Every structure is written in C-alpha cells, then in structure tokens.
Structure 1
Amino acid sequence: MEGVQDTEEKSVARVENRPVNNYDGEAAMNRPDQDALDMAKLGIAQETKRRFGLVTILGFTTCIMGTWESSLPFFLTAYYNGGPVTMVYGFILAFFGSLATCASLAEMASMFPVSGGQYYWASLLAPPGKVKFLSFLTGWLSVLGWQSASATGTYLGGTIIQGVVKLNYPEYTPEKWQATLMLYAVLILSVSVNVSLVKWLPGVEGVILIIHVVGFFAILIPLVHLAPISPVEFVFTEFINTSGYSSSALSWLIGQSASAVLFIGYDGACHMAEEVQNARINVPRAMFFTMFINGAMGLSMYLVILFCIGDIDKAINTPTQVPFIEIFHNATQSKTAATVLTSLLITTYIVANFNFMASASRQAWAFARDGGLPFSHIFRKIDQKKSIPLYAIALTGVLNALLGLINIGSTIAFSAVVSLVVGGYMSSYVIVICVMIHKRLTTNKIEFGPWNLGRYGLPINIIAVIYTFVTVIFAFFPPLVPVTAANMNYSGAVYGLVVIFGIVYYVVRGHKTFIGPKLPRNAL
C-alpha cells in the first residue's frame, strides 16, 4: 500500500503544480534521455517502466489490429451490402482513409508521447474556452472504444470455441451461458498475463507476432490449394445487394463501414507510450508500419475468402453459427483440418486480447490520472512493485465480465456493444483531428515532433476527418432491412446513452474532478 500512496501523492502534487518526490523536472531536462526530456516537458512523473522497443511495440500494435483475423468473422456485413465489390474496393477505401487517420494521430503521438493519447492531445491543441470539455469528451469516447474493443477480443476468443465443438459433435446444442463461461476463461487468462507476466510481455510480443504471421500463411495456403476457386469476375466485379436496402449506394456505404473495424487499434501504441523507449519516434513508426502490414494481410485474406467461399448460403446458415468454419470445412473436406485451422485463429484472438487489455487499461489509467473517470482516485494508482496500473487492469476485467453477462440474455445486444468499437474510437479521432486542423489554420507556432506530415498535414487531416465522420455515421445503420429485433443495430442507442451519461457526469461532477493535462512549459 505504501507504493500506491506514493503514486497518489505524486498525482496530487502534479495537479497542484508543485515538485514531487523523486522527480525533478529540471534534473530530468538535463539528462541525455529523450524520454525523460519529453516527460519533463509534459510535467508527468515516470511511473511505469519502459519495457518496449520498436520491434516489440510494432508486434503489440500489429496484433491488436489483427486485420486478417478480424476479416474472417466480420466479412458478412460487407458481403450483404454489395458483395465482392464492397469487400474488395470498400477495403481499399478503408485502408487509405484509415492511413490518413493513422498518419494524423501519429504526428500528434510524436509531439506528445503520453499514454492519455487523444484526450491529452485535444487538451493541448484545443482553442481557449473549449479545452476542458473537449478533452473530457475525447477521453470518455476513447475509454468507451477501448473497453468495447477489449470485450470484443474475449468474445471472439471464447464463443468461436462453441462452433468448433458443434462441427465435431453435431448433436451438441450451443448455449449462450456456455459461451459466456468460455469468454470468462479467456478473460481470466488475459488478466493473469497482464498482471503476473507483465515483465515478460515485450518478449511475449515477439511470440505473438510470430503466431500472427505464421497463422496467416497456415490458413491461407491450405484454402488456396484445396478450395474450389470462384471466378475472377465474381471476385472483382460482382455486386450483390441482399441487405434489403433499395439504394445500392447506401448499401455500399454501410458495407464499407464494416471494413473500418478491420483497421481499428493502431492507436494502441499511443496508450503504451510511457512504456516505450524513444517513444516520440518508435510509437508513430509502429502505428504507421502496422497499417501496411495489416493492410496487405487483410486484403489478401478478403480475396481468399471470396475465391474460396463456395456455397455462401451454406456458409451463412451453417449449424456451427460461424461462417468461416464452414468455409474451412468446405475447402479441406475434413473436420480435423477445419478444427486445426480454426484453433489457430482462436489462438490469435486470445493472445491479441492480452494486448487489448494492456492498452485499454493504460488508457483508462491515464484518463483517471487526470480525474476523468468516476472513482479516479482509485483507478489512477500504480502498483509500485510491478509498475503497472493494477486497479485500471481490474476495472477493464470487471467491465469485460459484466459485458459478458449481456451475451446470456441476447447475442444481438452483445454484438451492439461490440460494434461500439467503431463509434467510440472514431469519434475520439474526429474530435482531436478537428482540433489539429483548427490549430493549423489559426497559428504557425506548432512545435512538431520528429515524425510529422510537413506541408501535407492539413489535406491529410481533412481527408481523415471526412472519412472517419462518414464511417461513424454508417456504422450505426442496421446491416439488413426490414429491421427486426434480430438484426437491429443497437450500437447507436448504446453509444448515445454512454455519451449522455458522460456529459451528465461532467456537468454534475466531472468538471470539478477532471483537471486535464497541464504543461509546466510551453510545448507548442
């Protein structure tokens, strides 16, 4: 408890803008350590250990994004809304739109390499009079996105196991409560790794990256070699609108938004920035490089799905309730082979969730450090022995567990929570990039980091905002019409409730407790 109290004292001292124990800003500025210089410039005490280098944080971010793994369970919305044309060309649009967004955020990560990420940047870049609220709202939305994303990892890792069991034992009847128990098993493993094995986490990232790459080829090669191949014309020119929307353009935009979720997670590196060596360079590099790695692998897997899809109606209506398992089975004509391929995929989901939990907990911890969450005085504490935000990790675990209970009542409702990933993440992106655009247009005095967009910054920022805003809007549309209780997209309603709750909390109490980032020196 002594370590926790020390950390709390540091946080209070930072709020009151007075020196903290064991941390001297002037001394830090005189050390030949760029990370120490950055922390001193931002007025933040170094409370966590810098365990990650470029390769390990690249592995961390690459596996969080997991584009090729996500393409297999999430391709159906795009297929319903435009078929192959939406999947291929919508994916390409999503890549370039996400690349512009990633580049915009990477530039800010180089300027301010801090775990708070978007809400911190919004505070430092926003115009006077709007700083505090915009920073709070951005942080609230980012917390929403990351906690939803962490729940997605446990959900996929746990529930797909039921599909494998159903494939091998047709008499088995999947129950929702069983899926939730499997979800909990994945959750317990993720928490254990983040708490007990944290010092080995960078080394684990190398193993996870290997699994990510090897798993890709282990699935791609058998499918391409064994599956009946669809015609080239079908893959690149077929437009299929089975969504029920009368407008093909509207249907395409809804399907295209499904590809956006495949590029979520590159800002995970930002929220680990205070644990990365040479963060102002390595964090933006990891963000940018992972876009190209995952973009190439994701497009390849989308093409493999289309070329090897076989009977799509059979895949959609499979008894396993997991279409890609049917695709594997159809290609290999072997339950054993399909089980092995699916098990590889499940493994990638589970190990990626280690990273989701790490990043989600750091983002929540950073926001609590500035008083942004209810009970921030608890969640901002650091366990000094392990140098990790133990209470924030616990918060992430508890929220995951509570969200898992929703699945018992309704898989549809839980899927809506999962789809909040796009709304939460991208809303925070829109706010902070708009703030950056305003800054570019109103002042030339911006002190950029070593990784910056130069004269192309403004047009890239504008492209990023347009793409992200449009994607958020269409992500809330139901994938099929007519709308029923079974296909309704409840994410818009849930998103609205969470945002309203955040605003009410800010008005009632948050405006008093949320201090926002405060710089002891002019960083701009």
Structure 2
Amino acid sequence: MEKALEFQTLNDEGVRQRGGGSLSEAKPASFDRDRYELARVGKEQVLKRRFGLVSMTGLSCGLMCTWESILVVFQIGFGNGGPAGLIYGFLLIWLGNLSVFVAIGELSSAIPTAGGQYHWVSLLAPRSSKRFFSYITGWLTVIGWIAALTSVCAFVADLTLGLVALSHPDYIKELWHSTLLLWAVLLLCVFINVFVSGALPTIEVIILVIHILGFFGILIPLVYLTSSYNTAEYIFTTFNNFGQWKTTGLAFLIGLQGNALAFVGTDSAVHMSEEVRNASTDVARSMLLSLGINGCLALGMLISVLISAGDIEIMINDTTSNVPLFMRIFKEATGSTTGASIMTGIIIVLEFCSAMGCLAAASRMTWSFARDRGLPFARALSAIDKRTTIPVIAILVVTTLSALLALINIGNNAAFNGTISLVLEGFYISYLLAVGLLLWRRLRGDMDDSNSGLTAFSSNAQADETLDRSLGWGPWRVKGPLGVANNVVACCYLLLLIFFSFWPNNFKIVDPAQMNWAVVVTAGVASFSIGYYLLYARKSYNGPVVEVDPHLL
C-alpha cells in the first residue's frame, strides 16, 4: 500500500496549504511542476520561488559583472599576452565557458537543486566513491563561493579607494582602509539580502538594465573623447611577455587567468534554482543568456579600451601611481578627472551589485550543503526563516566568514590575495568533477534516454552494481554525439585552465607578493576537507538526504 506523504500545494488563491496523500495523487488537482521535479530528486520545496527567467538572468549577469571585471583584471592578460593575447584569450575563454555551461545546464535540468555540483557528483559517481567525491566537491564549492564574495567586496573597496586616489593624488592607502570598506559593503549586502529579499527579483531586473546602460555610458565617452587611437594592427597582432616566460605562447596561456576571472559565478543560477520558476529549463537558459550578453559586452569593452588607451606600457611602468590601471586609461582617454571618476563610479556600483548577488548564491550553496549534513552545525545552518522563507542563518554565517577573511588583509595583503585566489580553482575543479562524471556515464550508456522529461530514480538490477540508480535527462539537453563531443571539449577546457591557473604571473621574480598562492590554498582546503571527512563526516554524510521518497511519485 502506498505510503502517504505530507506535501504543500497551492490553492486557487495561491496560498500554500498542506495535505496528505502522494504527489502522484495530488498532481491532477494542483500540479506544481517545480515542486514535483524537486520531489523527484528527493527534495522538499521550502524556499519561495520568486525568480523568473529575466530576473535570474539579471542576477547572473550582474554577479558575473564580466565587462566591468575585464577592466579590473585588465593588467593580468595585458602583461602576459598583450593586446592580441587579451582578445584571442577572451574568445577562447568565452567559447570554453559556453561549452562548460551547456553541460552544466544539462545537469541543472535533470537535477534542479541548490546543491548543484556536489549533488550531481553524488548521483553520477560509482557507489564506492560517491560520498567522498561529493563531499570534497561540496567543500570546494562552498569555500569557493565564500572566497568569491570576499574578492568581489575587496574589488568594491579597492576601487572606491582608487577613486579617492584619482581625485586626491596625495592620498596614501592603508590596508585597514580596504578592510573597513569591505566590511561596510558586506553589511549593506546583508541588509538587502535579508530585509529586502522579497524585492530581490525586481532589483535584479533593474540591475540588468543598469548593467547594459552602464556599458554604453562608459564605452561612448571612452571612444568618442580620446585624442589618440591605437591601430587595428597593434591590437590584433601585438603579443606581450612581461612575465619573461621562455615563450610568448606560454605567457599567453598563463595570461588566460585574467579573462577567466571575468566569467566566474555563471553557476549562480544553479544555486538559486530552488527559487526559480520553471527551474528545469530556465536555469540553463539564464546561464547561457548571461554568457551571451556578458560575452558580447565584454568583448566590445575590451576592444574599445585597447583602441582608446594610448600607450598602456607607459602607464604600467609608472610605479608611482596608486590608481588602478583602467582608471588612468579613463582619465587619459577623456582628459578629465571628473569624467574618469563618473565612469569609475558606474563600475563600483555594478561591482557592488555583483557582491549582492554573490552573497545570495553563496548562502544558498552553504544552506544546501548543510541541509545534506555536509557542514558542521548543519541543523542551524539549514534553518529557514519562516517569515522571509530564506536561509538567514546561512547568510549571516557566510558574511561572518567573509569578514574574518578580510582581517588577513590588515596584516598581509599578499596572504589575503592568496586566500581569495581559490575562487577560480574551487569552481573549475567542481565543474570538472561533475562534467567528467557526466561524460563517463554517457560513454557507458547509463543515461536513461527513455525518460523524456524528469530525473528518474529507479532500482536497476541489470545495471552495473557500482551504480546506485539510473539517471534520466531533464527537458533541456544536447542529444547524441554532439552532447558527448561538447562534454569532451568542456573537460579539455577545464583541465587547461585549472593547470595554468596555478602558475605565477612572472617567471623571474619569485617572492611572496608575486607568488600564486592558489596551489597552497586549494591544497589546504582539499586536505582539510579530506581530513574532516575521514575523522567525522564519513559517519554522518551519506550524500544528498532524501526528504521525499521519489518511488512514491
């Protein structure tokens, strides 16, 4: 006899109510497709679905902040790669990310939960190792998002202080100035995420509009007011090797880090998926729309800056200035400190919007991993505030950890930069594990092509005993050999970027300030998570907790 489940439905007035029976019984009378899809992967709907396709695209675009970030990290790619390296490297990164997030979109369609990568890895990996790999993936993703939040807030703080230095050349920046400003940015982000959470989708739509209008607000004066232009031959054929590597090709590959950082956070939609309507299709669509919009805007901004910047090498070699390079480019192009300040102000506002979205995604990821008992104090971290239906405690804990990381900056800026350098590696390793396992399952023929829609959990006595269950596709996927080829391309791209993201920017200068600390930080996080798993978590963590029995659907 079928076991009764308690579930929530929507009545005719749209008010939540509880009732007994199975989801399959409730479906004809009051079918909530998102709730049904979530139940099919064993999860109960507890968050309110506030976001639609446009608002989620706004959050993703604003969080990625690609054309804005390409200016902030401009010097990384220019030093190793040069103008031509920046452009061709950008195209490589853009296409690589499109390939990766087509595959991530397939997974988000099949398993539309806030956990994302660690949930997918748990379902795709062999039984003998699924708990271990899922746990490591979860830790890398959680720490990666906390580092991402800290780095974006640090961007806002440093850009604000850079704006002060632009207007007041005698200003001397102290490290504690950045930390205090970073804390102020965090507090404002918390206020919006907690007390204005109901309006967040509307805010994200407004941010999307500002994101696009701000692009033209900077590009038009930049191109129109400049007095000297670099030639097309210069920007498309000049390669630099300021890092003094043995070959220009090697310098180009190392310089890819800058462009890659500008695309970080595309998977934010995945971790918000339990708050998105039509999540099994619109999460994937929002990620690809964000990549399309941000890629076009960033490429336009990159070419415009290279054309309008004048002699960039002179600006780089000017070590007396404490003003960020792109601000000096703005001032040189417009011939006005006021004009450069207004243009910079637009970028600061948009970077703050990125920090606001970053806190939302980081808190949902933390909440989801705690819900599945992957973090200490899981019960408290996985609590949902009944009034706002958001994970308030997770938001506060993520903010506190980010604020504590910022304390490192007061003592040692190099150590602080090293700590937050985990961003790229944490995300890319989690993507590689998920996409690599998807490719493995595809090549084995384990994916259930007969399932035309939702994820299916089923006992399969004929399947390989190392696999727990058969996995069906969601409504959004790339079929046949093309899907396999895309997975292969995505894995190759991720391996390339992960490998070169651990390299320093300069071959000749080896000191703590110039060192790439990412390898130390990533290894430290991985070692800690492995140790914690072996000592404690392997007794309590069994992968994603099944809250709703999918066999009763």
CA gap of 1:389–1:24, structure 2 versus 1, over 3 A, is: farther
Q: Distance in 2 between matches of 1:334 and 1:522?
A: 67
Letter in 1 for 2:500: F
Write out per-residue CA displacement over residues 230-278 of structure 1, whole angstroms, 9 at most, x where no aligned residue: 1111100001111111122221110123211122211100100110111
Deviation (angstroms), 1:314: 4.0
Write out per-residue CA displacement over residues 351-376 of structure 1, whole angstroms, 9 at most, x where no aligned residue: 11110000010001000100111221
Letter in 1 for 2:540: T
Counterpart of 1:240 in 2: which secondary structure? coil
Letter in 1 for 2:417: S
Alignment of 1:441-520 (within 5 A): 441-446=443-448, 447-455=472-480, 456-482=482-508, 483-518=510-545, 520=549
Letter in 1 for 2:169: P
Deviation (angstroms), 1:25: 7.4
CA gap of 1:425–1:25, structure 2 versus 1, over 3 A, is: farther
TM-score by length of 1: 0.94
Tell me the matched-pair count: 507
> Which residue of the other structure, out of 416, 422, 442, is the alignment partner of 1:420?
422
Q: Distance in 2 between matches of 1:24 and 1:161?
A: 55
Deviation (angstroms), 1:398: 0.7
| Structure with greater helix share of residues | 1
Report which stretch shifted further, 400-409 or 270-279: 400-409
* 2:466 alignment counterpart: none
Q: Distance in 2 between matches of 1:391 and 1:163?
A: 33
Letter in 2 for 1:254: I
Letter in 1 for 2:110: M
Determine if contact 2:284/2:476 at 8 Å carries over to the other structure: yes
Alignment of 1:63-74 (within 5 A): 63-74=62-73
Q: Distance in 1 between matches of 2:249 and 2:396?
A: 44
Determine if contact 2:4/2:21 at 8 Å carries over to the other structure: no
Write out per-residue CA displacement over residues 468-488 of structure 1, whole angstroms, 9 at most, x where no aligned residue: 111011111101122222211
CA gap of 1:139–1:225, structure 2 versus 1, over 3 A, is: same
Write out per-residue CA displacement over residues 23-78 of structure 1, whole angstroms, 9 at most, x where no aligned residue: 76723662422102112212211111000011101111111111101100112111
CA gap of 1:169–1:321, structure 2 versus 1, over 3 A, is: closer
* 1:521 alignment counterpart: 550
Letter in 2 for 1:510: A
* 1:214 alignment counterpart: 213
Counterpart of 1:400 in 2: which secondary structure? helix
Deviation (angstroms), 1:445: 3.8
Q: Point out where structure 1 has 5 or more consecutive residues left out of the alignment.
A: 1-16
Letter in 2 for 1:129: S
Q: Distance in 2 between matches of 1:65 and 1:487?
A: 26
Report which stretch shifted further, 300-309 or 27-36: 27-36
Deviation (angstroms), 1:522: 6.5
* 2:11 alignment counterpart: none
TM-score by length of 2: 0.89
* 2:465 alignment counterpart: none
Give the RMSD, CA atoms, in angstroms: 1.7
Alignment of 1:131-146 (within 5 A): 131-146=130-145
* 1:388 alignment counterpart: 390
Counterpart of 2:408 in 1: which secondary structure? helix
Write out per-residue CA displacement over residues 470-522 of structure 1, whole angstroms, 9 at most, x where no aligned residue: 10111111011222222111121011111100110110111122231255337
Q: Is 1:75 the equivalent of 2:62?
A: no
Q: Is 1:440 the equivalent of 2:442?
A: yes
Letter in 1 for 2:385: D
Deviation (angstroms), 1:116: 0.5
Counterpart of 2:73 in 1: which secondary structure? helix
Write out per-residue CA displacement over residues 310-357 of structure 1, whole angstroms, 9 at most, x where no aligned residue: 232443236233111100110111111111110110000111111000
> Which residue of the other structure, out of 369, 372, 375, is the alignment partner of 2:374?
372
Deviation (angstroms), 1:309: 2.0
CA gap of 1:23–1:362, structure 2 versus 1, over 3 A, is: farther
* 1:264 alignment counterpart: 264
Determine if contact 1:164/1:320 at 8 Å carries over to the other structure: no
Letter in 1 for 2:136: L
Counterpart of 2:123 in 1: which secondary structure? helix
